[in-house]
Amino acid sequence: MKRIPLFTLVFVIISSLILIHSAGAYEAKPYHFGFKKSRNGELPSIAQEGFMSILQKQGAIFLGDPKKKELYLTFDNGYENGYTVKVLDVLKAKKVPAAFFVTGHYVKDQPELIKRMAKEGHVIGNHSWSHPDMTRISTSRIQKELDQVKEEVAHLTGQKEMRFARPPRGIFSEKTLAVHRELGYTTVFWSVAYKDWDTKDQRGWNHAYKNVMSQLHPGAVILLHSVSKDNAEALEKMIDDARKQGYEFKSLEQLTVKHYQ
């Protein structure tokens, strides 16, 4: 068995203790991310949700610059349902960057798709190893959940850095956001979404198309779930018609301005 150098072991222990101590200073009250949906191109709002100041303080993102017709396409990948290949094919054909927030199950189950995401220039984000409610577990467990995903993705793709994280089910607290930040992550929420994750409630591509297109606004961070057949079938038309409206698709890595309403 390879021995871990004493200096490295001490450094890891001290770093973990510092993280645990600092995270303890933040409020642990849980929130479920929600927002007032955009209509007719107006901006969505989190002003009534009670957590705007927490997101600002911890550097979390839910939309980009509302003065620019830019869109940020993101997918949550908890498990594979047979549609991610089609999604990736459309993104490649249309030259659209996206971010895929993956769980441990997805990484272990779909290594070739993870490799393809990285090879084709998409952001791979952290959606935790086992998809727990992060507000109900310890700081050390949060770190482990994130580290496991990061390490496994690095093993598959050579990607050493992972800069973005998304809390499972959108449940968070000031403490969990602080832990993300202290581990080097920007927490990414969203400003366009609809109920697309229920595989037993798929209503056809037009249902997905209308739900997304009706909410488009400048600086939108779009959340889609790759398990949705509707999303996969609507994606090409969404992209084409958004571009016809003057929108440009950009990578999360290009999102530097954070605005809150």
Question: Is 155 among the residues known to form the active site?
Answer: no
Residues 164, 186 contacting (CB under 8 angstroms): yes
β-pairing verdict for 171-172 and 31-32: antiparallel
Question: Is 225 among the residues known to form the active site?
Answer: yes
Size (the chain), residues: 261
Q: How far is the C-alpha of 163 from the C-alpha of 185, rounded, in Å?
A: 5
Residues 222, 44 contacting (CB under 8 angstroms): no
Between the alpha carbon of residue 212 and those of residues 71, 73, 74, 145, 261, the distances in Å are 12, 11, 13, 31, 20
Q: Is 200 exposed, middle or buried (0-12, 13-18, 19+ CB in 10 A)?
A: exposed
**Active-site choice (76, 122, 127, 230):** 76
**Active-site choice (122, 127, 131, 225):** 225
Residues 252, 72 contacting (CB under 8 angstroms): yes
Between the alpha carbon of residue 93 and those of residues 35, 122, 244, 254, the distances in Å are 32, 14, 17, 21
List active site positions. 76, 225
